[in-house]
Amino acid sequence: MAISPALQRPPALIRVLRDLKKNVLKIGKFDLTVPNPELYLAVLKSAFVKGYEFADYVNRFTEKRIDESAFFMTAGLRGICEDIIALKFIGQFDPAIRKEIINLEIAGAVSKASEAQKNFFEKVRPFQPIVKVPSSAADLQKRKDSYKAIGIQTGLGMIKEKLPPVEQMAANVGLAEVYDFFYRITSETVHFNVRVALRNGWGPLNKIEFGTKKFCKYYAQVNQIYGVYLFTLFCDAFKTDLDLDDKFMKSIKRLSLELSRELRWPEPVTFEEMNMSTPNPILSSVLFIAHMEKHDSAFIKTLRKRAQRAKTKKQDI
């Protein structure tokens, strides 16, 4: 069975997410009519809005609404994580280099997608008209030379004929652990993975039924908790670039606080799927309270007050 307590989303977290929507959409606006628009900022704003919309959307799911869609949505977390890493990597350069990289990435993406669709449709649907973007070996070499020049100019040898792999960019910007964690917890739903395929089976050993809905509560929690986590990470990383004011960041800190108050975050490998006994709930609570005593004493005081009120009410009855 998948873990489930976190499906009861904290009302305060839902309220903060809802209240942020108007400001997020306002901050996410971009004017392409200005001379020489900074496309890096446009990409940054797009990723910012996407990160918010994912966190807001998945946290509006009630337990009754959770279904197999949770499994398929999990792949979205990987894209959000890679947005943070790549944009932080590109963002360390001066505006001119940032602009050149964005233009190179656009040209390369269009060229590769155009070639892929040409090959696919020629084989599967040769009658269907498609967009054909001219691209030559000279164009490709020019892009490679431009990347190499950027690598030399910035002193980053990892930039050669293209941007380095996301794993290398993550290490460069201090997000190696974040990348590795989200790669494990999300890529397994995208790539061929024997463990995940078998994890989607549940029931008596002689009558196992497979289906993406079997672990849907687990994936719902992954999306809900880590969707918010990545959004707060995004805001902390780019608050200056996006000009996020103190009021906005106060709300982001509140989201982080609400996440820290979750008793358990979903792990890539769970006790449940390994058919192992979950940690003793009393021990888990003691460890959690000891941790919160150091980092969030106000929360512990609130819990104690609630416990006292419940005790008093019980005595009165």
* pLDDT for position 101: 97
Q: Is the dihedral of CA 85, 90, 94, 95 positive or negative?
A: negative
Distance CA 263, CA 261 (A): 6
Return per-residue pLDDT of the chain as tens, 317 residues.
444 444 578 889 999 999 999 999 999 999 999 999 999 999 999 999 999 999 999 999 888 889 999 989 999 999 999 999 999 999 999 999 999 999 999 999 999 999 999 999 999 999 999 999 988 899 999 999 999 999 999 999 999 999 999 999 999 999 999 999 999 899 878 888 887 888 788 788 888 888 888 888 889 999 999 999 999 999 999 999 999 999 999 999 999 999 998 888 998 888 877 878 888 888 777 777 778 777 777 776 776 676 666 667 666 66
* pLDDT for position 5: 46
Cβ-contact 25, 49 below 8 angstroms: yes
> Which H helix or E strand runs over 314?
helix 297-316
Radius of gyration of the chain (CA): 24
Characterise 36 by phi-psi region: left (phi > 0), alpha (psi -120 to 50), beta (else): left
Distance CA 98, CA 42 (A): 12
* pLDDT for position 3: 46
The residues near 296 (Cβ < 8 Å, ≥ 6 apart) are 257, 260, 261
* pLDDT for position 242: 98
* pLDDT for position 151: 96
> Which H helix or E strand runs over 96?
helix 95-124
* pLDDT for position 294: 76
Distance CA 6, CA 200 (A): 21
CA nearest to 31, candidates 45, 16, 51: 45
SS (H, E, C) 226-248: HHHHHHHHHHHHHCCCCCCCHHH
* pLDDT for position 28: 97
Q: Is the dihedral of CA 135, 140, 141, 146 positive or negative?
A: positive
Domains of the chain by residue range? 1-92+173-278, 95-164, 282-317
Q: Which residues of 3-18 are buried (b: 16+ CB within 10 A; e: fewer)?
A: beebbebbeebeebbe
